[in-house]
Every structure is written in C-alpha cells, then in structure tokens.
Structure 1
Amino acid sequence: MRLPGSSLAAVVLTAPLLVAGQLDYYAKKAGLQYFGAATDTPGQRERAPFPATYATYSAILTNPREFGQTTPTNGMKWLFTEPEAGVFNYTEGEVVAGLAAATGKTLRCHALVWHNQLAPWVENTTWTPDTLRAAITRHVANVASHWKGRCHAWDVVNEALDEDGTYRKSLFYNVLGEEYIKLAFQAAAKADPGAKLYYNDYGIERPGSVKTAGALRLVKMLRDAGVRIDGVGMQAHLHADVHPTAQDHVDTMNAFTALGVAEVAFTELDVRIEMPVNATNLAWQADSYRAVATACVRVPKCVGITLWDFYDPFSWVPDTFPGQGAALLWFDNFTVHPAYDVLIDTFKGLAKANLTAPSHLKGSLCRVDGIK
C-alpha cells in the first residue's frame, strides 16, 4: 500500500516500530524460515479509513519481529505488469518489492500465470496455440527476469484447478491444455533460476479431497515431464467453524513432499468468521490458526506462513463472502484477535518442545507426540 504520490519504502522507514511484535520472532524460534503478511497497492488507498490508519498499519507491517516476509497481493499480476501487449510496467510490484528490500523481509513473488486479473488485451485476443505460447513465454520471461534474484519464491501458476480437481477451463487451458503449465514453469526456471518455483492454489489443505488429489496429479505431471517445480503453496483461505485439523495439514503437506518438492508453505492464510464476531467463533478461529502453525512447524519442509494481509479492513473476505469477515489478526481499531496470542503461545510451546527433544527427532515432533 502507499499514499498517493508517495513511496511506500520511504514512508515505512520513518514509521515507529511497534516493539511488541513477535510473530516472526517466535515462528523462527520454532524452526520456520518466516512468518509474513501480504500487502497491497492498487485500490486500497481509497478505502476508508486508510489515510488515518496508515502510520499504524505501516509500523506493524515493517516491524521485523512481527513479519519477516511479504507478498504483493496484486502488483505483480498480469493486469499491472503487462497492461499492453509487450509493454511492461513494474511500478506497482516495485512498491512491495521495495518495501521488502528496505526492511529486510523475505519476498514471495505472486503470480506469473493466473486466469484472473488479466490485462484486457489478453482476454480480448483470439489466440492460436503458437501465439499464446509466445505470449506466455514473453510475459514470464520479462516479469521473472525483472525481479531476478530478489524473490525467494514465485507463484508460477495460480489456481489452475476447478473445485472438482479437474483443470480450470481458463483461456490458457482452452487453447493449450496442460501444456501451458509446463511452459510457464520452464520459462520461470530459465528467467529466475535462483527462485523456488511454486504451484499455488486454495482448497488443497485437506487430505483426500478431490481438489487436493488434482493438485497432486498436477505436481506429478510436472515431475514426470522433467519440469522443475520446487514447492506447493496452500493458500489456506479457511473457515473458522469447519477448518482442517493440524493432522489434516500435516498429511496433505507430506503427500506433496513425497512427490519430491523441496518445500511447502501456507501462502495466503486467513480464517473467516460468520459475522458478528463473538467469543465462540473467535475461539474456533484461534483453533484454526493454531492448527496451521502446529502443522507447519512439525513438517520439516514447511518453510513459512503468510497472512493474506493482516488488518481486517483490508481483507478481501467481506467483499467476496457477504456476511463473513474478521478473517485476520488485527481488528479495525488495531487490537489483536485472540488468535494472535494463541499463535505466539503455539510457537513458544513448539520451540520449547523442539529444544528438549532428542537430536534425531528435532523438526519431526509430530512423530513423538500427538497432533490435535
């Protein structure tokens, strides 16, 4: 996010740090590489009460003990990075990339090929297989090359599956079939060889679901074809009263890593509540956040957790799910949800357990005590 006419990176460096921040600090104590929060640029500066809350929001976001990683929710998507055919604009994506560089945060880059938030010219073109292959290759090569060496990971292909686990009938799939997925990963590997290359999707957190099975087939398809894929991002847009258990998350992550991917991560975490907020649904929400933290720490290849923003007024949830909200960790007045303290206590407890475990069991605590 940024104020009109301002550089976010410049503003955040002058914002006072909130010394109470501790999510990233304790997540790392428990063995994760990062605990982070995505942030946005386009559109949010018009949302009340953005101007009045900017300094507080910025101080929380940039506090290195609170968040050690960030992701641009929109600024690197096709709509902004290639608004006209062959014309590239990195202004929006650089806002968050610059914030990460200025504040020492790990940067996850998102997303190279997605059926949504495409530039109008992409949707309005009549494609042939050859012209679409060329467009995908050009887009991925240019965008990934621009941020080469700055991204821990790229979400190379985002949400390629329908709810039933079959391929989404996007314009990419309708013209090229699953070839477009291979093509995107191949182009990304060439353009930014140092970045981890992820497939990213929602609804793939539960073992045995048809969509999880579809994601496993997609990963296996790439691996069998000799196409490099390094990670799977489980978005984890969850619902407080029907959320997966920690064991669900562990089993799912283990299924992905069994296929040979180097890492997994929770990439867009939020836990929505049926409004209004009350003690019961806040407790359910805290349980869901606890399950994610517990599972990630207990799966050695789970590298980190990213909230999809952290401040409820900037959440996508109320606009998409009417009657639902309060999905993040900070309320409108910047007090924290009960889930915040639950996360801290969870990381502290897991860090302590890890320190006292026999050396050959460290990082594998799910095998020596029960997961709830």
Structure 2
Amino acid sequence: MRLWSALAAAFAVTLAASAAHADESLGAAANASGRYFGAAIDVDALSEKPYRTLVESQLTSATAENAMKWGEIETARGVFDWGPADAFVAFAKSRGQKIRGHNLVWHQQLPRWLIGGQFSASDVKALMLAHIETEVARYKGSIYAWDVINEPFADTGEWRHSIYFDAMGRDYVALALRAAHEADPDAKLYINDYGVETAGPKTEALFNLVAALKREGVPLDGVGFQCHFVAGSAPDDLADVMGRFATLGVDVAVTELDLRIPLPVTSGALERQADDYASVVAACVSTPRCVGVTTWGVTDDRSWIPGFFSGYGAALPFDEQYRPKPAVSAMTKAFTAQRR
C-alpha cells in the first residue's frame, strides 16, 4: 500500500508539473519558433468533444491518420468514399490548420481489388497515376504538403519490393512525384520514411535517392522523418542527419513522432520520454529547414502502438484521460528556448 501511495504521489507531481505548462499550447510554442506542431487525427473521434477540443487547442497542423489512404478511399475499383477525408479537410481548414496529406503511394493499406487483381505492369502504372491525379486534384489548394512516397526502402537500405517497384522499378518514385505536382503545383511534395533518423544504410539510400531526384529535376520539396522510437533511445545525431538532407535543397520535417514506453508506465519512464520529445523538437528547431513536428496521434487511448508493439504503450504527449504528460512541457520549452 505504501509503495502504491508513493507511486501515485510521484505521478501526481509529474502530471501537475506538466499541466503548469499547458496554458501555452504546443501549436503556439511551435509558432514562436517559426514552425508548426501537428498530429495524426482519428477522424471518427472528432465527434467526441474532449478529443476535438484538444485537437483544436493544441495543433496548427493536421494529418489524417487513415482517411486519405488509397484503401480507405477507393474500396472498389472506380467506387469512391470521400466522406471521412472530406470531413477531415473541412475540419482542419475551418480551424486554420495546415493539412499534410498522407499518403499517396505506400505498399500497405491498398485496396483489396488492387492487391488481389491480376494487373500488368502497365496497368499498375496507369492505376497509380490515376489515383494520384484524382485525389490530389480533389483537394487542390487545400493541402499544404503531400507524403507522396511512403517508405520506399526496406530496413537494409534495399529498395522495398511492392506492387509499384515490381511493376516500374525505381521509376515509380519520379512518376508519382511528377503526377502529384501536375495535379497541384502549389502543394509541397515529400518522401516519408522511418529508420532514417540516424546514420546507416537506409539513411544513405534515401539520401542518394533524394540527391538523384533533385539532379534530374523531379519535383520534390521535402523529406519526412517518421521518428517512431522507444523512449530513452532517440538518436543523438538527428539534427546532423536533417541538416545533411537540407543541403540537397529540400525541407525536412518530423512527421510521425511517438516514443513508446514499456508497460507498466513509471514516472522515470515518463521523464525519459519527455527528454526524448524535447531532443527531437530541439533537433528540428536547430535545423533552419525543419518546418515542423507532427506526432502520430494525440492521446494514448488512440495510439497505434499497443496493437503493434506488445508490452508497450503510453507513447503520446497526452494520456488516456487527455491530461498533458511531461512531454508537453518539455516540447514547449524546446520550441521556445531561442526566444527566452
């Protein structure tokens, strides 16, 4: 009983310290550094007032977690369900939030009719281009940036085999970027990947791809660093890596940040998580071409982590009761450090 009382007291102190910095929203703090703070949004949850209020008050950018993916939009060939995506875009626009479109070309969450069909290489190319042109044109003028290419490389740094790569080889990347640019010339176009936040073969493969695309005049505006980490293990060379990519003439952004914790959660783990959230924000702030930070979700009750990483959870800045965790004050301080 005494142990439980001590743990409860420690959590209360930790959360109270976090709440003390909650008056300044993360969006406002990011704006002070000339950047945005965003999150992946569960569109279905926007009907719940506490969730909607948190999204409205904290974010200056929004990404649809699933609603804009091909498998969600074109459930049968030529049959479209734009309802959730339209609702998301309308919501974010009405709140003045930048919208990151996610995503156009990915090897997962594809329509069943596509992955189960018997399509030739030329068919796959035509279908990919039609999908890009249709979706990007629908939201022309509303989307700040598109994750056009998502996760093109395997963890080894080799090209990831996918329906696209197997049909077109590496050419699918340039084809997709050009199609997106033609459909909306004003949208920023990104390649987005995980495991590229520190030096290694996958990072080098992505760097070489970006360099080649820029040499070839392919429209590419940015590189997204997903940043899915275990708390306490965020890389210490993230700023160096982002700065190196920026030398190629592209923006960089943190696009899917979360920091999972082994369960059960302890106050020490929350502090380590806060330190890592702060270090990622600081890396962005110290990189002139880093335009913003997006977390992959807002609250722990709607995080993807428990369903994919057994024994882990509590990965986001707000807990299951929507209370700010130490990560919130840590990020706020990191965003605003230069103005103090």
Counterpart-to-counterpart distance in 2, 1:349 and 1:258: 25
Assess if the C-alpha contact under 8 Å between 1:309 and 1:328 holds in 2: yes
Q: Is the 8 A contact 1:127 1:175 kept in 2?
A: no
**2:227 is matched with which residue: 215, 218, 236?**
236
Pairing partner for 1:62 from 39, 56, 59: 56
Residue from 307, 312, 315 that aligns with 1:327: 315
Report the Cα distance in structure 2 between the residues aligned to 1:67 and 1:345, rounded to whole angstroms: 16
Cα deviation, residue 21, structure 1 = 4.9
- Aligned CA-pair RMSD: 1.5
Counterpart contact for 1:203–1:212, Cα < 8 Å = yes
User: Contact 2:122/2:167 (CA < 8 Å) preserved in 1?
Assistant: no
Percent identity, aligned pairs only?
A: 38
Q: What residue number does 1:90 align with?
A: 82
1:1-372 matches, cutoff 5 A: 20-32=23-35, 34-41=36-43, 54-63=48-57, 66-206=58-198, 208-245=199-236, 248-261=237-250, 263-352=251-340
User: Which deviations, in whole Å up to 9, do the C-alpha atoms of 1:159-191 show, x marking residues without a partner?
Assistant: 111001111111111121111111111100100
Q: Distance in 1 between matches of 2:104 and 2:303?
A: 22
Whether the aligned pair in 2 keeps the contact of 1:311 and 1:332 (CA below 8 Å) is: yes
SS in 2 for 1:38: strand
**Deviation per residue, 1:79-135 (Å, 9 max, x gap):** 122222233332121121111111111111110111100000110122222111111
2:218, 2:334 → 1: CA distance? 37
Equivalent residue of 2:148, what SS? strand
Gaps of 5+ in 2: 1-21
Determine if contact 1:31/1:351 at 8 Å carries over to the other structure: no
Q: TM-score, normalised by structure 1?
A: 0.83
Deviation by residue 1:261-318 (Cα, 9 ceiling, x = unmatched): 1x11101111111111112211211111111111111111100011111100100000
- TM-score, normalised to structure 2, is 0.90
Q: Render the CA deviation track for 1:299-346: whole Å, top value 9, x for unaligned.
A: 111000111111001000000001001000111122221111111122
The more displaced of 218-227 and 104-113 is 218-227
Q: What is the one-letter code of the residue matched to 2:335?
A: F
Give, as a single letter, the amino acid of the residue that structure 2 aligns with 1:28.
N
